[in-house]
Amino acid sequence: MTLRTILKRLVPLLTLAVLVGLLSLLVPDFLGLRNLRGLLLSVTLVGTIAATMMLVLAMREVDLSVGSIVALSGVLAAVGMSATGSIALGVLAGLAGGAMVGFVNGVLVAGFKVNSLIVTLAMMEVVRGLAFLASGGESVAIPLQDFYALGSGGVLGLSWPIWSMIGSFAIFGLILKATVFGRNILAIGGNPEAARLAGVPITRVRIIVFTLQGLVAGLAGIILAARITSGQPNTSIGLELAVISACVLGGVSLSGGLATIGGVIVGVFIMGAAQNALNLLNVPTFYQYVVRGGILLLAVVADRLRQDGRLPRIPIRFSKTDRSETQNV
Amino acid sequence: MSAMITFHQVGKTFPGVVALDGVSFTVAAGEVRALIGENGAGKSTLLKIMAGQYAPDSGELRIDGVAQRFTSPRDSQNAGIAIIHQELQLFPQLSVAENLMLGMLPARAGFVDRAALRARAIAVIERLGEAIDPDMRLGALSIGRRQMVEIGRALLRQAKVIAFDEPTSSLSVRETERLMAIIGDLKASGCAIIYVSHRMDEVYALADSATVLRDGRHVLDLAPVTADDADRLVGAMAGRTISDVYGYRPRAAGPPMVEVAALAGPGVAAPVSLTVARGEILGLFGLVGAGRSELFRLIYGATMPDTGAVRIDGEAVPPGSPRAAIAAGLALCPEDRKEDGIVPLAPLRENLALPWRNLTGATALLRRHEEQTGANELIGRLRIKTAGAETAIGSLSGGNQQKAVIARWLWAGARVLLLDEPTRGIDVGARSEIYELIYRFAEDGGTVLFASSDMAEVLGVADRIAVMREGVLAGIVSRDEATPAGLLRLALPQANQASSNQDTIPA
């Protein structure tokens, strides 16, 4: 491995380091233990979902419905617990709801061959509507106090939301790197027709990935409901943008075929640190929209430039260093 | 007659291929010159130079004696050249009138002048002697009538030189007759016409003169051209000495292995039946668009067949599923490697292991060690030139990519190889290594079906040769019986038969 390879591989991490360095100088209290713990907690929602979004993007698809799934599953869990008095049934309702939405996304994209951007844009609206319908338009209080432990309790000094993010990173990072299923995802993203002709079961893989995405968004929604002790139909609007931004900042290519969990983790923390700093500096919310959108634009322009640098006109040439950087992490 | 268009010593070289080598000919006003040759003879390159899509490396193109230097298709149009393409370059969702005048729409104050548009469209349609409603959506017209619209565009631009590229390949008999009449009118009005076609009877009926290209060289000029010249023309197109880069070795054929029974579907018009033996190499020859790739895709299940079945060793392969075909021992190496064959950014190892992995369990953990050993073994055995198994396959040369695409199927244990143009764009050294791979695969008891538009290659490598023509299996000849002219005769469209099955298209 050449020095250049190592440097390239470290770019996201170095970005994060520079950002943290700058913020610790500019923002009072940024490096305080209390703030860092808050920062960690604040990225759990985005981080948990970013791991499966990585799989979706690596497959050359996108899922815009995750924010709505978070709301729907939180509401379903709250309604389920109110109605049955059982934590288990409520959680099951939330998870099943999320997985169902993901499955429908997958069938529409893989089975009916509709563009995933449009499918999940439509589903984003449909699912948000379902969340309002299921809740009657109001926030649904959760009467079972034991359930709140899922949001605030934990082990080894880390709360359950943080564990859920760590678990999501570990499981889906491993799936992407070390299983045939994960490599098939990258092959489909890299060249769908070649993957199909080489015997990759592309329809099945696509449906499973979307279903996983729905399931994980559902889990994140349930944990969020535990943190805020209610199911909120209007929560997490715009969450999909934060999740996709984190992935793209972490080097996941929007043209598919390239993704690493390490990059995604760094991307999640870049997003989180920027958001945290804006809060500490008391930047009004209106500006925060502009900054978040700007970060996403920067990330996709960087993605585009990277590809153009790597993909000059025919014949396509890739340097060896690029190769080992992009898929061997 | 004065020369309207002159090609003077025109040459064009692409990396590794001389597409045109000092081609010279002229076409006068009022002359129809047929331009004929096999696939890859250089006709398309010549047309693209005319169209301003390519610049010649040497020589020049003159219009009315004035040397031209086109930097864009627009320059070519402004010089009075129009090309009627095989794939029509029109807009199905726009109206006939809009299609006729796109790029020169009459306007008043920035708005399209509907009345003028309609009037001019009607004038042109009348000149073509057609009854087409100018307000109709173009997409509702038959292919033949769309072609008339394209010719109408050329008339509106007052083109002096009109080139037709295989204009009748998708026309019915009646539409072909209409086209012939219109070309006659164009000729009478003083246009210089270049007519590219594989249909020799059209050439005899229409052309005043003919130029034959072979391997980028200009090998024969005839004027006039009549049916009596058939043998000379076909001889000039096909005539070549087969050099022995092929290193053919005869083999004893085994029992029947692959049985294609009455298979038809998209691109394969009439049911195809053929049987290939264990240890046999079947060449599949045909001109561009003859349906070779389509037949392979049907056999492999990449497209769903309308009728018919494929059996391997007597066992029916479930149709329409590449995964089922792979499980039955079939393997496809597609014609377009970049689009359909490889995952360019992924390492060579990933590309090699893809079918094997999915054959042996799609949910399993990667067997990293086994994969590395397997990939390195294949790289060594097939002499794939690469920095290592982890190099991106997209960075390898075409020949090495092709070897890798074949190698992945050896790894997956394929018993039947479907090779579609396996040596296209590959240098001579790598080509003979690929032939060697094919022989060895057959000697080990495998069956090879291999499609090529390179006649010399088919003659050099195959035990038997199946010839396709316009989506139909035209015949099968053994290696000993096959001659270049014989194959070409089978492959060339025969207007009467070939067009009759398309006469049902509503005109």
Q: Could you tell me the domains of chain A?
A: 3-327 (1.10.3470)
CB burial string A286-325: b at 16+ within 10 A, e below = eeeeeebeebbeebeeebeebeeebeeeeeeebebbbbbb
Which among B326, B339, B390 has CB closest to A324?
B390
Judge whether B166 and B197 are in contact, CB under 8 Å. Answer: yes
Please determine, for residue A319, whether its predicted confidence score (pLDDT) is greater than 60.
no
Encoding tokens for residue B188?
Answer: 């009478």
The residue type at A105: N
pLDDT tens, A168-211?
999 999 999 888 888 899 999 989 999 999 888 999 999 999 99
Mutate to test the interface with A, among B303, B342, B343 (most CBs of A within 10 A): B343
Per-residue DSSP letters for B150-192?
HHHHHHHTT-SEEEEESTTTT--HHHHHHHHHHHHHHHHTT-E
Q: In what order do the strands lie in the sheet with B209-214?
A: B81-84, B161-165, B192-196, B32-36, B209-214, B217-222
Mutate to test the interface with B, among A323, A327, A328 (most CBs of B within 10 A): A323
Query: What CA–CA distance (Å, rounded) separates B382 from B400?
Result: 9
Judge whether B507 and B500 are in contact, CB under 8 Å. Answer: no
**For residue B15, what is the nearest residue in chain A, using CA coordinates?**
A315
Which among A180, A194, A197 has CB closest to B357?
A180
Interchain contact, B346 vs A324, CB within 8 Å: no
**For residue B354, what is the nearest residue in chain A, using CA coordinates?**
A198
Q: Exposed, middle or buried by CB within 10 Å (0-12, 13-18, 19+), for A109?
A: buried
Interchain contact, B358 vs A316, CB within 8 Å: no
Query: What CA–CA distance (Å, rounded) separates B219 from A232?
Result: 80
Query: What CA–CA distance (Å, rounded) separates A50 from B49?
Result: 51
pLDDT tens, A42-67?
899 999 999 999 999 999 999 999 99
Per-residue DSSP letters for A26-93?
HSTTTTSHHHHHHHHHHTHHHHHHHHHHHHHHHTT-----HHHHHHHHHHHHHHHHHHH--HHHHHHH
pLDDT tens, A71-120?
999 999 999 999 998 889 999 999 999 999 999 999 999 989 889 999 99
What is the Cα A296 distance to its own chain's centre?
Answer: 14
Q: In what order do the strands lie in the sheet with B464-469?
A: B330-333, B416-420, B447-452, B281-286, B464-469, B472-478
* A99 touches B at CB < 8 Å: no
Judge whether B121 and B97 are in contact, CB under 8 Å. Answer: yes
Interchain contact, B350 vs A193, CB within 8 Å: no
Please determine, for residue A253, whether its predicted confidence score (pLDDT) is greater than 70.
yes
Interchain contact, A327 vs B350, CB within 8 Å: yes
Rounded to the nearest angstrom, the minimum Cα separation between B136 and chain A is 30
What is the Cα B323 distance to its own chain's centre?
Answer: 27
Please determine, for residue A310, whether its predicted confidence score (pLDDT) is greater than 50.
no
Per-residue DSSP letters for B34-72?
EEE--TTSSHHHHHHHHTTSS--SEEEEEETTEEE--SS
Enumerate the residues of chain B whose CB falls inside 8 A of the CB of residue A181. Answer: 362-363
Closest to B38 in 3D by CA, of B497, B492, B502: B492
At A3, the pLDDT band (50, 70, 90 cuts) reads low
The residue type at B105: L
Place of tokens 């709140």: A148
* A187 touches B at CB < 8 Å: yes
Task: Assign residue B413 a region (left: φ > 0; alpha: ψ between -120 and 50; beta: otherwise).
Answer: left
Q: Say whether the peptide bond before residue B347 is cis (omega within 30 degrees of 0).
A: no
Mutate to test the interface with B, among A191, A203, A317, A322 (most CBs of B within 10 A): A191
Enumerate the residues of chain B whose CB falls inside 8 A of the CB of residue A178. Answer: 365-366, 368
CB burial string A205-218: b at 16+ within 10 A, e below = bbbbbbbbbbbbbb
251-290 of A, contacting B, C-beta below 8 A: 257-258
Interchain contact, B343 vs A187, CB within 8 Å: yes
Interchain contact, A194 vs B365, CB within 8 Å: no
Place of tokens 């001389």: B18
Enumerate the residues of chain B whose CB falls inside 8 A of the CB of residue A179. Answer: 363-366
Which among A195, A318, A319 has CB closest to B343?
A195
Rounded to the nearest angstrom, the minimum Cα separation between B404 and chain A is 12
Rounded to the nearest angstrom, the minimum Cα separation between B391 and chain A is 6
Task: Provide the mean pLDDT of chain A.
Answer: 85
Rounded to the nearest angstrom, the minimum Cα separation between B401 and chain A is 12
Encoding tokens for residue A329?
Answer: 């992490």
Q: What are phi and psi of A70, to 5 degrees?
A: -55, -45
Q: What are phi and psi of B264, to 5 degrees?
A: -145, 155
**pLDDT score, position A8:** 62
Interchain contact, B395 vs A318, CB within 8 Å: yes
What would the CATH number be for the domain defined by B3-238? 3.40.50.300
Query: Taking the CB of residue A189, how many other CB atoms lie within 10 A of it?
Result: 27
CB burial string B456-480: b at 16+ within 10 A, e below = bbbbbbbbbbbbbbbbbbbebbebe
Judge whether A48 and A165 are in contact, CB under 8 Å. Answer: yes
Query: What CA–CA distance (Å, rounded) separates B338 from B24?
Result: 35
Enumerate the residues of chain B whose CB falls inside 8 A of the CB of residue A186. Answer: 343, 346, 350
Interchain contact, A197 vs B340, CB within 8 Å: yes
DSSP code of B197? -
Interchain contact, B323 vs A320, CB within 8 Å: no
Which among A197, A258, A327 has CB closest to B334?
A197
Query: What CA–CA distance (Å, rounded) separates A48 from B379?
Result: 40
Rounded to the nearest angstrom, the minimum Cα separation between B316 and chain A is 18
Query: Taking the CB of residue B58, how many other CB atoms lie within 10 A of it?
Result: 13
Tens of pLDDT along chain B (507 residues)?
A: 578 899 999 998 876 667 888 899 999 999 999 998 876 688 888 998 998 888 899 999 999 888 888 888 888 888 899 988 766 678 888 888 888 888 778 777 778 888 888 888 888 888 887 788 888 888 888 777 888 888 888 888 888 999 998 887 767 777 788 888 889 988 998 999 999 987 788 888 889 999 998 888 888 888 888 888 877 887 788 765 445 678 888 888 889 999 999 999 998 889 999 999 999 999 999 887 788 999 999 999 999 999 999 999 989 999 999 999 999 999 999 988 888 889 988 899 999 999 998 888 656 788 888 889 999 999 998 888 888 888 888 888 778 888 999 999 999 999 999 999 888 777 667 788 889 999 999 999 999 999 988 888 899 899 999 999 988 999 999 998 888 888 888 888 875 444 444 433 343
Query: What CA–CA distance (Å, rounded) separates A111 from A118?
Result: 15
Whole-angstrom CA distances from B496 to B142, B174, B200, B469 are 20, 11, 12, 13
* A319 touches B at CB < 8 Å: yes
Enumerate the residues of chain B whose CB falls inside 8 A of the CB of residue A173. Answer: none
3-state DSSP percent of chain A in helix, strand and coil, to 5: 75, 5, 20
Overall residue count recorded for chain A in this entry: 329
CATH topology of domain B249-325+415-422+439-507: Rossmann fold (3.40.50)
Query: Taking the CB of residue B357, how many other CB atoms lie within 10 A of it?
Result: 27
The domain limits of chain B are 3-238, 249-325+415-422+439-507, 330-412
Which among A198, A257, A320 has CB closest to B355?
A198
Which among B346, B355, B363 has CB closest to A199?
B355
Q: How many Cα atoms sit within 13 Å of B34 on the Cβ side?
A: 26
Query: What CA–CA distance (Å, rounded) separates B239 from B91?
Result: 41
Which among B350, B361, B395 has CB closest to A183?
B350
Query: What CA–CA distance (Å, rounded) separates A274 from A266?
Result: 12
Place of tokens 């079939």: B330
Whole-angstrom CA distances from B402 to A96, B322, B419 are 46, 19, 10
* A48 touches B at CB < 8 Å: no
Query: What CA–CA distance (Å, rounded) separates B116 from B134?
Result: 12
Interchain contact, B358 vs A180, CB within 8 Å: yes
What is the Cα A86 distance to its own chain's centre?
Answer: 29
Closest to B358 in 3D by CA, of A52, A208, A197: A197
Rounded to the nearest angstrom, the minimum Cα separation between A318 and chain B is 5
Interchain contact, A180 vs B364, CB within 8 Å: yes
Rounded to the nearest angstrom, the minimum Cα separation between A200 and chain B is 6
Enumerate the residues of chain B whose CB falls inside 8 A of the CB of residue A180. Answer: 357-358, 361-366
| DSSP H or E stretch at residue A161 | helix A160-178
Please determine, for residue A4, whether its predicted confidence score (pLDDT) is greater than 70.
no
Interchain contact, B346 vs A318, CB within 8 Å: no
List, in sequence order, every beta strand (DSSP E) within B170-290: 192-196, 209-214, 217-222, 256-265, 268-277, 281-286
